């Protein structure tokens, strides 16, 4: 029944113009950036967090008026079934704080598309018009076919070490029992915060502007997650029905930025237990972001 629901949801996504946002597929079993965003740890990775359900600050809270912890945020994360990880980083002061379990690794779903885009935008290769259109579709529409085209053309498997070593995605790995492929990776909220921090700090100005524009234009049923931080936010969400230890279950994540000049990097991951829907997960992480940024919570319409 769950497989049927996942498939029906995919049809609905296509109907609203978001091509291939979810990452479900038949399983194939086989063998410190410098400059604008000072951070601590390897390439901007956040310190490992405590067990799920608790919250901690690292490097101080954000500047006055910026996002911050609250008792309500702590209670929401503690009460949510499954594991939530949250990292918030101020790229101006270099301070960061985290909540839940930001070191918990889960299937990346489509959030890994930020790393793919960053690697291609900063590479020495000359991207064609078709490549850039695929990048746009990959980020704005979460188009999996566009992602596959880029992954195959530019030897995506060879990019994985770059994601770990250059971008600071230190816990990124191929899920055990799966072939190396962008749909078969797992990482943590700390990893996602690291690559987003890197992209904002290190991409050439024109490419940074393009990436920011694409992430602000997330289309269709992607209006949730980090977008709950305000009208100046942008993000790459990811949601997928996946196995890992538990029975098949939904993972729902969002990574992006908020504030003037993309000041705050935000990454939130949610590894849910069996029985919860993608929409429930999207609502929960949207509420987490709303509380962090002191904004009213609102009902999400998808995924």
Q: Report, as an integer, the average pLDDT of 19-30.
A: 42
Average pLDDT over residues 203-214: 98
> Is 230 within a domain?
yes
| 22 belongs to a structural domain | no
Number of domains in the chain: 1
pLDDT at position 36 over 70: no
Q: Assign 116 to helix, strand or coil.
A: helix
Predicted confidence at residue 1, as pLDDT, reads 39
Give Cα separations from 275 to 2, 247, 249, 254, 281 (angstroms). 9, 10, 7, 21, 11
Pairing label, strands 246-258, 55-58: unpaired
pLDDT digit string, tens, across residues 92-124:
999 999 999 999 999 999 999 999 999 999 999
Of the chain, the percentage scoring pLDDT greater than 90 comes to 74
Please report whether residue 21 resides in a domain.
Answer: no
Q: How many residues does the chain have?
A: 303
User: Are the C-beta atoms of residues 297 and 286 closer than 8 Å to each other?
Assistant: yes
Q: How many CB atoms lie within 10 A of CB 261?
A: 12
The pTM assigned to this predicted structure is: 0.82
> What rounded mean pLDDT belongs to the chain?
84
* Residue 52 within a domain: yes
| CA-to-CA dists, residue 155 to 96, 120, 160, angstroms | 34, 11, 10
Give domain status of residue 267, yes or no. yes
At residue 63, does pLDDT exceed 70? no
pLDDT tens track for 249-280: 999 999 999 999 999 999 999 999 999 999 99
Residue 268 lies in a domain: yes
pLDDT at 247: 77
**Any domain includes 122:** yes
Contact between 27 and 196 under an 8 Å Cβ cutoff? The reply is no
Residue 70's pLDDT is 87
CATH assignment at residue 134: 3.40.710.10
Q: Which H or E element spans position 56?
A: strand 55-58
Containing 83, the helix (H) or strand (E) segment is: strand 83-90
Q: What is the pLDDT of residue 192?
A: 99
Q: Is residue 206 one of the residues assigned to a domain?
A: yes
Tens of pLDDT, residue by residue over 65-79, are 689 888 899 999 999
Range of the domain at 287: 32-292
């Amino acid at each position: 029944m769950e497989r049927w629901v996942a498939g029906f949801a995919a049809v609905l996504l296509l109907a609203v113009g978001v091509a291939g946002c979810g990452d479900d597929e038949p399983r194939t079993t086989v063998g410190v950036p410098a400059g604008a965003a000072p951070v601590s740890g390897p390439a901007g990775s956040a310190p490992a967090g405590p067990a799920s359900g608790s919250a901690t600050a690292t490097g101080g809270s954000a500047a006055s008026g910026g996002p911050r912890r609250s008792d309500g945020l702590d209670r929401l994360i503690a009460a949510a079934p499954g594991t939530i990880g949250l990292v918030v980083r101020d790229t101006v002061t270099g301070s960061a704080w985290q909540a839940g379990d930001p070191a918990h690794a889960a299937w990346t779903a489509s959030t890994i598309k930020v790393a793919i885009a960053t690697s291609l935008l900063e590479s020495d290769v000359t991207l064609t018009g078709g490549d850039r259109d695929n990048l746009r579709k990959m980020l704005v529409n979460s188009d999996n076919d566009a992602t596959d085209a880029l992954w195959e053309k530019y030897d995506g498997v060879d990019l994985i070490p770059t994601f770990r070593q250059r971008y600071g995605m230190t816990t990124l790995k191929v899920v055990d029992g799966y072939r190396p492929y962008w749909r078969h990776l797992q990482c943590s909220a700390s990893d996602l915060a690291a690559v987003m921090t890197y992209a904002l700090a290190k991409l050439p100005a024109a490419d940074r502007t393009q990436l920011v524009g694409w992430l602000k234009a997330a289309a269709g049923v992607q209006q949730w997650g980090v977008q709950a931080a305000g009208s100046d936010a942008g993000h790459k969400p990811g949601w997928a029905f996946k196995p890992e230890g538990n029975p098949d279950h939904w993972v729902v994540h969002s990574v992006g930025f908020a504030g003037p000049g993309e000041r705050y990097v935000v990454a939130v991951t949610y590894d849910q237990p069996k029985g919860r829907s993608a929409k429930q997960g999207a609502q929960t992480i949207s509420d987490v972001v709303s509380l962090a940024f002191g904004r009213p919570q609102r009902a999400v319409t998808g995924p």
